[in-house]
Structure formats: structure tokens, C-alpha cells
Amino acid sequence: MVSMGRKVAAFCVVVLGLLLLFVFAVNTGSLQVSPLQLFNGLFVAYDPDVATIYDLRFPRIFIAMVGGAATATSGVLLQAVIRNPLADPGIIGINAGASLAAILVTAFVPVLFYFTPLFAFAGGLVAFALVYSLSWKGGLSPLRIILVGVAVSAMFTGIASALDSGTGSSMSSVTSIVDANITMKTWSDFWALLAYAVVGLLLAACVWKRCDLLALSDKTARSIGVNVDRTRIFVSCIAVLLASISTAIIGPISFLGLIVPHIARLLVGSGHKTLIPFSMLLGALCLLLADTVGRTIAAPYEISAAIIMSVVGGPAFILLLRKARASYGE
């Protein structure tokens, strides 16, 4: 049981870290301004340097924060639904399904480009439905759902690669648009992401009681009047929505939805009333940190945040597998 003081301290540290990282990220690059100059340029008088930073850096910073919050929250909800601490929208194929749907819409129906997040949501739902149905055998096996998820993810990724190769790489530009890193994003991408993410995050914040009930066995939950199937489907749809819209705008980010919930549970406990909002903040911090590290570690070149998260998340996933093998692998 985590004390209230520790929870408050954790929230304060993450919020402070997010603010400091935001200030650092704004001034990371060839063009730098003082905090006073930034404030004056934003709210007092026009400043060309501040205007450049506002147009180029602010969108990617805010997109990283919102996308990180959405992906991390999706991981929390999926782990509650599946009762598997190794669940992640990237590992179980949701990101791959959403990415494939976004590629198909962009390539073959470009007139619907601005509705790409909705089609990505549909692709994510198809992927999750496949994983869930193929993993069900008198119940959900944590090991089976991971293996099926990896297979479904590989299948959708292979279809996207086959389309790319089979068209003489004419779809490479389309794939690059969908899977582009945060560098290429603008304010219009941010507003598109925010419009869907706000809905998903608000819904996620409202289902914390349902997530706590899903931690019980199905028999126990039904005995106290919970419609387990309806609850699981509703929470799953929210999780898929958050993961899919993030994938549609910034591309698939692996392991973020896996690592953040585990760190959050260590700091604020497993109660979803505090776990969900804390994961939002911590997810925003982690993805913004990954993007900032990618911008600075090889300057003037950039490494995408997705690559940074994969490098960090891969070993973390292996460690979690080893730690949980008594319950989930043997």
C-alpha cells in the first residue's frame, strides 16, 4: 500500500520534471532564446526567433506530450482488461493494425486523409479483436495472448511491407507520412491528435472503478453485479482508441505503454484512480524525454523517439519477462 504522501510527492516530481523538460526542449537546437525573450515573444511583442521556435518546436513538443499520455494510458487499460502486466499496444498488434489502416487510407483514399485517425481506430479494433479471439481458450492465457499478439503484429507489418514492395516502392512516400517521426509534424497535426486524445483520456479517467473491478476474477465480479464482458469491451475500445490515434499521428511507439504503467505502479500503487492520471503525466514526460534525447544525442542529426523507446524498452521487456516467468511463462 503506497502512502498518500508518497503519491503526492510522485505527482509533484513528475509535473516539475515535465515543466523543466519542456523549457529545456524549447531551447534545444541551433536557435536559443532566454525565458524572458520567449515570454515577451509569445505574449508581448513579435519576435522572429520566438516565432520560428513556436512554429517548429512547439508542435512537436506538445504532440510528444499528448501522444505519450495517450499511449501510456492505453497500456494501463489494456493491462487491466487482459490482466497481463506484459500487455502493450505495440506488442499485441494494435499499433500495427492502426498503422496499416492509416497507410491504406492515405494511399488509396487520400481524400479521406483528415479522417485517418478514425480509420486507424478501426484497424486497431480489428487487430485487437483478432488477438483476443485467437487467444481465448476457456479463458485468457497471458503467455498465449503475447504470442498471438506478436504474430498478428508481424502479419500486419508484413502486409504493409508487401504493399510497399509490390508497388515498386511507390508507397514508400505514403509509409513515410504515416510512420514519420515527430520532427515533421505541425500545429494541424497537434490539433487533430488533441481532438481525439481529449475524448479518450477523459473516458479513461472515468473508468477507473471498472478497471479496479476487472482486476477481480470474472466469477467474483459477476457475483457483485458487474457485466464483465460489456465492461471489458468498453475499456478495450478506449484503450484501442488512444493507441490508434497516437499511431496515426506520430507513428507506432513501442514499449511506452509497457514501461510507464510498471513505473507508475511502483510510485503510486495499483489503484486506477491515481494510476491512470499519473500514467498520463509520466507517459508525456517519457516520450518528450525520448524525443529530446533523440534531438541532442547525435546533433545536428536526429534519432526518432520511436527508436529511442525501442532501445530502452527492449531490455526492459526482457527483464519483465524474466521477473514474471513464474507466473506468465511457466
| pLDDT > 70 fraction of the chain, expressed in percent and rounded | 90
pLDDT tens-digit series, residues 156-205: 988 888 877 665 555 555 555 565 567 778 899 899 999 999 999 999 99
Cell of 255: 514499449
Mean pLDDT of 232-254: 91
How far CA 130 is from CA of 101, 148, 161, in Å, comes to 15, 9, 20
Question: Is residue 1's pLDDT more than 80?
Answer: no
Mean pLDDT of 70-84: 91
Under DSSP, the state recorded for 140 is B
CB 63 within 8 A of CB 190: yes
The domains located in the chain, with CATH, are: 65-324 (1.10.3470.10)
- pLDDT at position 298 is 79
Mean pLDDT of 132-146: 77
165 or 94, higher pLDDT: 94
Residues 100-121 as b/e (b if ≥16 CB within 10 A, e otherwise) read bbbbbbbbeeeeeeeebbbbbb
CA–CA separation, 140 vs 228, rounded Å? 14
Mean pLDDT of 8-30: 92
- pLDDT at position 330 is 42
- pLDDT at position 290 is 92
CB 24 within 8 A of CB 292: yes
136 - beta bridge partners?
140
Question: Is residue 329's pLDDT more than 50?
Answer: no
Cell of 67: 501522444
Give the range among 9-18, 122-131, 284-293, 321-330 with minimum mean pLDDT. 321-330
**Band of pLDDT at residue 326, cut at 50, 70 and 90:** very low
Query: Residue 76: what residue type?
Result: V
DSSP letters along 190-233, please?
HHHHHHHHHHHHHHHHH-HHHHHHHTS-HHHHHHTT--HHHHHH
- pLDDT at position 235 is 93
**Band of pLDDT at residue 226, cut at 50, 70 and 90:** confident
- pLDDT at position 318 is 78
- pLDDT at position 321 is 66
Residues 6+ apart with CB under 8 A from 305: 64, 181, 182, 250, 253, 287, 290, 291, 294
Question: Is residue 77's pLDDT more than 80?
Answer: yes
- pLDDT at position 180 is 53
Tell me the whole-structure pTM to 2 decimals. Answer: 0.89
Coil, helix or strand at residue 136: strand
Highest mean pLDDT among 103-107, 120-124, 164-168, 251-255: 120-124
- pLDDT at position 323 is 65
Give the range among 67-71, 118-122, 228-232 with minimum mean pLDDT. 228-232
**Band of pLDDT at residue 328, cut at 50, 70 and 90:** very low
Helix (H) / strand (E) containing 5: helix 4-26
DSSP letters along 107-132, please?
HH-GGGGGGHHHHHHHHHHHHHHHHH
Residues 6+ apart with CB under 8 A from 52: 31
Q: What is the mean pLDDT of the chain?
A: 85
pLDDT tens-digit series, residues 42-76: 888 888 888 888 888 899 999 999 999 999 999 99
How remote is the C-alpha of 327 from its chain's centroid? 26
**Band of pLDDT at residue 327, cut at 50, 70 and 90:** very low
